[in-house]
Amino acid sequence: MKHTLNGAGIMLGVSLFLACNQGQKDQNAQSSPDAVAVNVDTTVNPRQDYFDYANGGWIKRNPIPPEYNSWGIGNLVREEIYKRLLTINEHAAANPSDPISQKIAAFWKSAMDSTRANADGIKPIEPMLKAIDATTNIEQLVQLIGQNSNATGMFCDMYIGQDAKNSELIAVQFYQGGLGLPNRDYYFNTDARTSTIRNAYPAHVSRMLQFTGMDSIASKKAAEQIMKLETILAKSSRKLEMLRDPEANYHKMAIGGLNKIAGNIDWSAFLKNQGITKYADTVIVGQPEFFTTLSNAIKSEPLEAWKNYVKWNLISEAAPTLSDTISNANFEFYNKLIAGQDKQKPRWKRVLDAEERYLGEALGQLFVKEFFNEKAKKRYENLVEEIRGALKDRIEKLDWMSDSTKQKALYKLSKITKKVGYPDKWKDFSAMEIKEQSYYDNAIAGKKWWHQYYVNKLGKPVDRTEWDMSPQTYNAYYNPSNNEIVLPAGIFTVPGKLDEELDDAIVYGYAGASTIGHEITHGFDDEGRQFDADGNLKSWWTKEDEKKFNERAAVMIKQFDGYVVVDSLHINGKATLGENIADLGGILLGWDAFKKTEQFKKGTPIAGYTPSQRFFMGYALGWLHHTKKENLARSILTDVHSPAKFRVNGPFSDVDAFYEVYGVQPGDGMYRPDSLRVRIW
């Protein structure tokens, strides 16, 4: 997990899961169809393709809207959350009665004012453009980047977060970055889809630079320079799967050590310009070779090229807050061409997305008052303990792990902290200077606040009560440095259903397996298992047990490597290993917990399906989703999660109970020989 220093965005090693509703009222709920039966495609045999069987009926009836590149139950949940947040914003704008609602109202009004944004055009970033033009050497340019709150990701990524090997310390950390395309593979892969995107990229850069005042000839030359610079950086950028090894991406050194490997940048001065004057004598570098390449390019490539590169990054980052013309140009390349989204979301939804980035927890305080009660919080806290107990039983019964490692695993499991619904204490946003000003300026005010928020962490004890997601977020995460699972209130939303309408079979598959069990298993996946109970990157396995784990994980890598998703693109089994392990573990834990319920024991069918069938249907419901080919191709190259279909069919084919419930036999599409099934937890 890492926090971006210059922005409010939080980059987390997490995945999107679904659980259940908190009991909000829906006038149509009592007459609505069964939550899982309605989605079934009866023309598909569940033994051949379970995902298409369980979800195919809904997918056939629900095409992807033009303003999205994918569509599924997660979108339906977010649509409901959007409406709730819209109400909160409109009420705040009409009656800004307290400091929180005043900031929300000011942000909302400025961001919704498209007339002002269109009239301003490029005006909000003109001071920075002039400052770039005024630099006469690379040192001045680097200094300018350090001072600019909108310089997220220029040259490299820098963030402040827990030291992986000493979770009690907060450290400055440097990571590879600086690329305008989604990742390094887009600069080198030769398949037709990626090549088309790469070939279109310089024209997009040129178009954006023309908004800054360049003519077409100058902007074309600048785009060529930028492509050259980024390709140099991409060559020394590690591949997605290589970034998942926490030990290999941890290099702690004195700031002087960074100066030795990348000496053409004065890193001490760079940090000082970031406002970091204390507690930065030691830093953590993720990929040293990247910074050596960056340093060499700083010296070898002309100043003009770097100045154009900074201008490009500036307008690309600012585009969503500027005029419609600039915002639409940005959308055409990144959302339409790369991800297959035909149409922009309406402005109010884009504003809510941005507001979430800067004021998410402030919104959350208002959100939970109305939409998440103590009864719901208690229900899911109890479910966490049932899932924890299921993993305890599994660890104790493992036949491949030694007793010494088992005891440490059980201790780590017992120490996992659960955070459900919302934080016990809220962040104080009073110093964030959101007010009546331009959308761009309010976004900068948000970035400056978050920048200082993380800088202020240096030299202080780690606050392990803090949340890195807002309560209304439709997501969840496991944080290895805190050894915790975090389950925001938003993850427990199911549109159109009251909580009491959902039988245990659905809840244990839908919430217990795909969310809670998944997140707990992350503590014991290929990355998470390398952190101890206190959140430190520290080996606690015997060599023999580690070898056995890796042998079992290799079976899963091979399994997922074999899945072709779109065109000739296969899932990257190594890059997605952690999420695939967590999916499988979550299903097993949810199933073990469900078997102890009265519903399972009684076996009474509902809507024509047995409780056991409904458990698997409930898990599949969490991945009720389809996506465009462009987005699938992008995700294969950039995402550590497998596509939705394979998060159902892949792990189910490794679960013995699934074979028993559905009578899967050799020759069926879902069948894998026992010797090829993944056996880890």
- pLDDT at res. 494: 72
Q: Tell me the CA distances in angstroms from 619 to 86, 152, 609, 649, 680, one per residue in order.
A: 30, 37, 14, 11, 20
The answer to whether residue 93 scores a pLDDT higher than 90 is yes
Rounded to whole angstroms, how far apart are CA atoms 347 and 111? 9
Q: Tell me the CA distances in angstroms from 571 to 539, 638, 648, one per residue in order.
A: 29, 11, 14
- pLDDT at res. 11: 31
Helix (H, G, I), strand (E, B), or coil: what is residue 247? coil
Task: Supply the DSSP symbol for 8.
Answer: S
Rounded to whole angstroms, how far apart are CA atoms 174 and 141? 19
Rounded to whole angstroms, how far apart are CA atoms 301 and 78? 45
Burial status of residue 96 (CB atoms within 10 A of its CB: 0-12, 13-18, 19 or more): middle
Q: Please, what are the domains in the chain?
A: 2-23+70-86+350-676 (3.40.390.10), 150-319 (1.10.1380.10)
User: Which region, left, alpha or beta, applies to residue 275 given φ > 0 means left and ψ of -120 to 50 means alpha?
Assistant: left
Query: Phi, psi at residue 250, to the nearest 5°?
Result: -130, 115
- What is the SS3 assignment for 267-309? HHHHHHHCCCCCCCCEEEECCHHHHHHHHHHHHHCCHHHHHHH
The answer to whether residue 114 scores a pLDDT higher than 60 is yes
Adjacent-strand bridge partners of 161 = 171
- In 95-248, alpha helices (H): 99-112, 114-120, 126-134, 138-147, 192-210, 216-235
Query: Phi, psi at residue 82, to the nearest 5°?
Result: -55, -45
pLDDT tens profile 204-252: 999 999 999 999 999 999 999 999 999 999 999 999 999 999 999 999 9
pLDDT tens profile 383-426: 999 999 999 999 999 999 999 999 999 999 999 999 999 999 99
Q: Tell me the CA distances in angstroms from 343 to 77, 99, 352, 369, 633, one per residue in order.
A: 20, 35, 17, 34, 19
Task: Supply the DSSP symbol for 570.
Answer: E
CB atoms within 10 A of CB 397: 9
Which is it for strands 417-421 and 484-488: parallel, antiparallel or unpaired?
parallel
- pLDDT at res. 13: 32
pLDDT tens profile 288-299: 999 999 999 999
Which is it for strands 166-175 and 282-285: parallel, antiparallel or unpaired?
parallel
Residues 482 and 536: beta-carbon distance below 8 Å: no
Confidence of residue 7 (pLDDT cuts 50, 70, 90): very low
Q: Stretch 605-633: mean pLDDT, rounded?
A: 96
Q: Stretch 546-552: mean pLDDT, rounded?
A: 98
Q: Tell me the CA distances in angstroms from 110 to 104, 183, 307, 476, one per residue in order.
A: 10, 33, 30, 30
Confidence of residue 152 (pLDDT cuts 50, 70, 90): low
Confidence of residue 69 (pLDDT cuts 50, 70, 90): very high
The answer to whether residue 22 scores a pLDDT higher than 50 is no
Q: Crossing angle for the helix pair 192-210 and 216-235, nearest 10 degrees?
A: 130
- pLDDT at res. 474: 87
Confidence of residue 492 (pLDDT cuts 50, 70, 90): confident
The helix (run of H) or strand (run of E) holding residue 630 is helix 629-638
Task: Supply the DSSP symbol for 551.
Answer: H
Residues 476 and 515: beta-carbon distance below 8 Å: yes
- Residue that is written with structure tokens 């500027």 in the block: 322
The answer to whether residue 543 scores a pLDDT higher than 50 is yes
- Look up the pTM and report it: 0.92
Within 13 A of 89's CA, how many CA atoms are on the CB side?
24
CB within 8 Å of 45: residues ≥ 6 apart = 53, 668, 669
- pLDDT at res. 388: 98
pLDDT tens profile 315-349: 999 999 999 999 999 999 999 999 999 999 999 99
